[in-house]
Structures are given as structure tokens and as C-alpha cells.
Amino acid sequence: MKISENCKYVMNTYTRYPIKLVRGEGVKVWDDEGREYLDFVAGIAVNCLGYSHPEIISTIVSQAEKIIHCSNLYWNESQINLAKILCEKSFGHSVFFCNSGAEANEGALKLARKYGRLKYGEKRYKIITTLNSFHGRTYGALTATGQEKYHKHFEPLVGGFSYVKYNDIDELQSAVDESTCAVILEVIQGEGGVNEADETYLKEVRRLCNEHDILLIFDEVQTGIGRTGKLFAYEHSGVEPDIMTLAKGLGGGIPIGALVVNEKADVFSPGEHASTFGGNPLACEVGITVMNLVSQPNFLETVQKQGDFLKSKLLELKKKYNVIKRVKGKGLMIGCELNIEDAQEIVKLALKKGLLINAVSKNILRFVPPLIVTQEDVSKAIDILEETFIEMDFKSNM
């Protein structure tokens, strides 16, 4: 597309690719010049049911004709019903609704500090997070994010946070003291490189938190709602947190975030936290539709099957081309670690060939397609990726 003069009115916060998307259906999107793309970004793991899903469209139209928004000064049935579903499908005792993952994480951090203060006094306020984590761009969430590149230009950050190596229980244990109120981590680090937490590590983190009465927060903003082949990623290990944050896939494209807590962590009182738009009827009705579809056993089994297929096809490419160092991830959250540091060049050329993927660091490609992706879609994506490798003249192992 030709970059419109009107683009100057949009604040320059993204390095955008030179296409303008105007329509989507299933796993495909089209730009304003009619070119078709296979989308393995899915709004960054948001469009879990793809584009123009008939049940989501029907839900939006039906609810919009009734009531879109009402104040949380009053009850609404949609919010109650979605909260019930989330609790019944998880460890949850209650839910707070907001509009994004960053908002959900802000709520989790506030909640943890209140818990610490209530039980142990004002000195119990420190929060431990992990290096290479990503929790959002608002100040608390930004501070919790263990990547200096996101902190640059925004200091001073919020006090009371410390950072430890991911998957290193000894370093975490050394960081815990009597002032620690919470540990926050991702079961699989998304923006940090699609790094999986070891099952043994998660169990030891849970043990440590129990021993010191520290709240354990799992950020499942990206991993939740079926992305890893389980409804929630913590289910792979069986380790339950005290607090879980959700967003992205929960609304299937409609903005919504959620803070799910167990009974122990349910300590907010009226007036201590709020969200004007959080839990509005429209977003919650779409959330109900998403949850009802994604939580079906056959759906989750298919996600795992397609994820295994995608992983196997990437491993086949690894055997053929030395550019691939490692393939990692679970379900349909897959990372491809490269032996080069120009992953963006691969992303740009793949886009020209009709495949949307993204890079989460200099050398890692991330694949988070809609959960409705088929083996045919995966095979086509792999073919385009291989064409990209060939055109970039990567050395063949064959």
C-alpha cells in the first residue's frame, strides 16, 4: 500500500509492516490491495477462533442489540456467567474483569501487596519476577517485566521489585525474604523467546511460596484459553497459582482481561480496585462464546494435534537447513530459535510471500496461529517458510 498522509496522526509506537489489513476469514486476512495472507500471528495470540467466526459475530450482533455497556455500579448477567465459567474451569474462587493483560497484571500486583500488608504489615510488599519476562507496558507491569530494553527512558520504575533467572529455583530461593509478598512468572515466556518453565521448577516455586506464605501469580495472558493444548498452561504441570491473569484469546478479538484468584487471595474490598469498561456485557458475552467453544475436549485435542504437526514440520526444516537451531513451545505457541540474528528479515520476506509470522527477539520466530488452523494451513505456511529460506540462500544440510 501507499502510506497515507493520514498515518501521521497515529502515534509512532509500532514499527509497522507496509500493509493495511481490511478483511479476515478463518486463518486468512486480506490487505487493501486484495492480497491474501496466511496469518500465523493472529493478532499476537488474540484471534483464537480466527477471523469472522460465525458464533462470535452472532454473539456481538445479538448483544449489541440489547446492551453494550453498563456501569459496574450495577450487576450484569453476562459478567456473572463468565466469571462462573472461568472459576469452574480453573482453580478460581472469584474473578475481576478489565480490558487487557497489562490491566490484569496491574490488578494482580496490587492484590498481592494488599495481601502481604493485611497479614504481615507494611514491610511485606516486595515482588519477585523473572528475567526475560513480559507483563505489559503500564508502570507496574512494565516494572515487573524483566527486560531492560522495555525499561529504557521510563525510569524511575516502581519500587519493590527484583529479578531472578527463569527456571532457577536456587536463585529464587535466595531472593525470598520476609518482605516478599509475591512471585509472578509466565508458564511459558512469550515475548521473552517462547521459553518453557520446567515442571520440577514450577513445583518447587509452589512449595517455596507455600512455605513462606507468598502469593504465586501466573501470567497466562498469552498461554491461556487453549493456546498450549490445555485450557490453561498451568494444567500441564498440575501446579495451581493463587492468582492467574488472562486476556488475549479470552475475547477472541474483543478487548477483555481477567484476574482469577483463589479464596486465599480474594482480598479486595469495594473501592480498592476498579475498571470502568471491565466486564461490560458485550465483552463478557463474547468471552462466554469463546470459553464454550475452546474448552470442549475435542477442540483442545485438535489444538495439541495441530501444534505437534507444526512442530514436526519445523523440525523437518531444521534437518534441511542449518539456520534453525531449536524448536520449542507447546500446542500452538511455538518458537523457532535461529542460528542468525536477522529474524526480522525472514519475517519481512515471508510477508511478501503471503505468510504473517513475527520475531520476538533478534533470533526467534514465533508462531501463534488461530487455534482453528488446519494441517493444510500448516503445510502451506511451512512451504512459504522454506521458500523464504531458499531465497535467503541459507545453507542446506542435505
Show which residues are catalytic.
134, 219, 248
Q: What is the DSSP string of 10-67?
A: S-S-S---S--EEEEEBTEEEETT--EEEESSHHHHT-TT-BS-HHHHHHHHHHHTT-
Dihedral through CA 366, CA 199, CA 233, CA 148, nearest 10?
Answer: -50
Q: Is residue 231 a contact partner of residue 246, using CB atoms and an 8 Å limit?
A: no
Stretch (H or E) spanning 257:
strand 257-261
Cα gap 164→172, rounded to integer Å: 6
Helix axes 281-294, 54-64, angle to 10 degrees: 150
**Nine-digit cell string for 41:** 500471528
Long-range contacts of 144-152 (CB under 8 A, 24+ apart): 144/105, 144/109, 144/184, 146/192, 147/191, 147/192
Report the sign of the C-alpha dihedral through residues 99, 193, 16, 249, in that order: negative
Cα gap 372→317, rounded to integer Å: 23
Over the Cα atoms of the chain, what is R_g? 21
Q: Is residue 314 a contact partner of residue 334, using CB atoms and an 8 Å limit?
A: yes
Integer CA distances (angstroms), 387 to 236, 244, 393, 398, in order:
35, 40, 10, 16
Cα gap 265→154, rounded to integer Å: 30
Q: Is residue 220 a contact partner of residue 245, using CB atoms and an 8 Å limit?
A: yes
Integer CA distances (angstroms), 75 to 80, 242, 275, in order:
8, 26, 14
